[in-house]
Amino acid sequence: MILLYELQKRLANLRPTTTIVTTPTGARYVERRKSLDGEQTSSSSEPLEARQYGFVVDTKPDSVPACILSEFLYLGSQDAVTAENVIKYKLTHILSVGIETPQIELPPTVTCKHLPCLDLPETDLLQYVLPVAIDFIEQAHSTKGCVLVHCNAGVSRSSAVVIGYLMKRRDMRFEEAYNLVKSWRPCIQPNVGFMRQLKQFCKA
């Protein structure tokens, strides 16, 4: 009984709270909670103006690719796939990892490749993704071309591919390749499964 009394006493001292809740459908409401008689709480909700989406809309496109290897290898998000960037960076190859290449008008001289890849730790990067990606990037290099590797956000899948390429074709250790890519594109973060596989790739 003493414990129950202490809990009720502490509950009575809690401050009233107000929380704005957004549902996945975009509905928004204010939820208010307050104490009554020091023994119980009551809650009420007030609807707010609904939003079209239940998530934050990206209003700042990430359209500038990072140059990982001078005048040859670029890394970015899907926003970087633009006709302007093709001209500006003299792109001859575009590797789209996990998503289709954005539908824009590209010169016939640009070779595009879509490589299916889910951004999940269990995706087999070593067997199904890296061999194809490395060959495509090397194709661009052998023809003195310029390649942009991108995924959706340019954070996990495409960065893992670029790190793998540096390890395989430039004889870099995992830490060296990761740090190089990170220095030019600080937002990269391959998922934990990709990180584990890349470290194994280093030992293969």
Dihedral angle at the C-alpha atoms of 155, 157, 162, 166, nearest 10 degrees?
110
Cβ neighbours, 10 Å, residue 80:
24
3 state DSSP class of 103: coil
> Crossing angle for the helix pair 130-142 and 157-169, nearest 10 degrees?
60
Q: Strands 73-76 and 66-69: what pairing?
A: antiparallel
The yes-or-no answer on residue 151 being catalytic is yes
In sequence order, the 6+-apart residues with CB closer than 8 A to the CB of 168 are 130, 134, 201
Q: Active-site residue among 67, 112, 146, 151?
A: 151
Q: What residues act catalytically?
A: 151
